[in-house]
């Protein structure tokens, strides 16, 4: 994996590591909403939510659609799926290595 992709990964991880952002994503997963609408449902200010939405949009987890004078946000699965595949690949790699070590240890016991 190159350094470039790591920065991308890290931004997604950073976005997903905040609980408030998860709540925002969960809300958006149920229905598209504006920042103001989210602010009435979550216990933080609209400005705080706006910041979170900027971060989420920056790493592709969310997209915005203008509807009249308000801006609706919606959750996108693509980036999440991509991240999931990367994690799966790395996890499998670690498991493989661990299995190999175990095998060597067993063969040495004989």
Partner DNA sequence: GACGTGTGCAACCATGGAGTTGCAGATCAC
Partner DNA sequence: GTGATCTGCAACTCCATGGTTGCACACGTC
What is the contact surface with DNA in residues (CB under 7 A)?
A: 14, 18, 20, 34-37, 43-48, 50-52, 55, 68-72
Nearest CA to 57 out of 46, 67, 65, 68 is that of 65
Cβ distance to DNA smaller for residue 71 or 80: 71
Residue 70: CB minimum distance to a copy of itself, A: 17
By CB under 8 A, name the binding residues for a copy of itself: 1, 6-7, 9-11, 13-14, 16-19, 22, 26, 29, 32, 74-81, 83-85, 87-88, 90-95, 97-98, 101
**Cβ of residue 72: shortest distance to a copy of itself, in angstroms?**
11
Q: How many CA atoms lie within 13 A of 91 on its CB side?
A: 6
74 three-state secondary structure = strand
Q: Give the strands of the sheet with 70-75, arranged side by side.
A: 33-34, 70-75, 62-67
């Amino acid at each position: 994996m190159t350094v470039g992709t790591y920065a991308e990964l890290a931004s997604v991880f950073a976005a997903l590591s905040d609980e408030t952002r998860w709540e925002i994503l969960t809300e958006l997963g149920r229905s598209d909403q504006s920042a103001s609408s989210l602010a009435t449902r979550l216990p933080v200010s609209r400005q705080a939510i706006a910041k979170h939405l900027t971060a989420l949009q920056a790493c592709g987890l969310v997209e915005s659609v203008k509807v009249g004078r308000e801006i609706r946000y919606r959750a996108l699965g693509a980036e999440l799926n991509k991240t999931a595949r990367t994690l799966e690949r790395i996890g499998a790699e670690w498991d493989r290595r661990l299995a190999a070590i175990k095998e060597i240890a067993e063969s040495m016991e004989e």
